[in-house]
Structure 1
């Protein structure tokens, strides 16, 4: 799977990566020196923790869909707001509102450096 060339394509590419079910394809979307928050209040960093988090998400049966609410770019950094869900046979298994920070790579592609899957939820308290 090719990494996105524009930050506004990151959400769609990430959903497609998750829908392959392949942890390595999903991992390629991330800079694992960053942070992923697979559940509220539990940020993790580093390759091992990223992989563990992604495997947990991949274990949820269904298809992932991510809609971009907005994507703002400033140079080689962008922030996106998303609404995402995993559904199976019409039943929503999980859904949330996320915030993602993306960084342009030297080859011009974009990777996620911060993925807060629940970062825009109304109930989230800092």
Structure 2
């Protein structure tokens, strides 16, 4: 399990873990004290809710691609904006624009504290 040493590498690490079915790395990418929004309007927090949300996303068969639009870092905090999708051949199963807040850990690796997977979509109303 190789967690990113740079905030800017979090998206690539997450996509690689998803694509290899590495559940342990995907789960370890998140700080369970934070928030994940696995579908619009449904934020969850806590270890069990995170695991359920992540396993649900991992159950979507296909290849995940995450493009980092930007990653801004100050000290041990960073905010990223992503465009991501899961495709199976020519079929697009999920396509979204997300916003992620990441925090550097004591060991120098980065974890996602807030993952609003659909947070940058047009016409999205905050919950």
| Structure 2, unpaired ranges of 5+ | none
Partner of 2:110: 110
Partner of 2:77: 77
Instruction: Give the number of aligned pairs.
Output: 126
Give the Cα–Cα distance (whole angstroms) in 2 for the partners of residues 24 and 13 of structure 1. 12
Matched, 1:12 2:12: yes
| Structure 1, unpaired ranges of 5+ | none
| Deviation per residue, 1:17-70 (Å, 9 max, x gap) | 111223222101000110000000100001100010011101111010000000
Could you tell me whether the CA contact under 8 Å between 1:23 and 1:51 is conserved in 2?
Answer: no
Partner of 1:93: 93
Give the Cα–Cα distance (whole angstroms) in 2 for the partners of residues 36 and 24 of structure 1. 17
Could you tell me whether the CA contact under 8 Å between 1:80 and 1:100 is conserved in 2?
Answer: yes
Could you tell me whether the CA contact under 8 Å between 2:2 and 2:25 is conserved in 1?
Answer: no
Pairwise CA RMSD: 0.8
Secondary structure, aligned partner of 2:106: coil
Give the Cα–Cα distance (whole angstroms) in 1 for the partners of residues 22 and 97 of structure 2. 23
Give the Cα–Cα distance (whole angstroms) in 2 for the partners of residues 20 and 9 of structure 1. 17
Secondary structure, aligned partner of 2:43: coil
- Alignment TM-score, normalising by the size of structure 2: 0.96
Give the Cα–Cα distance (whole angstroms) in 2 for the partners of residues 17 and 100 of structure 1. 17
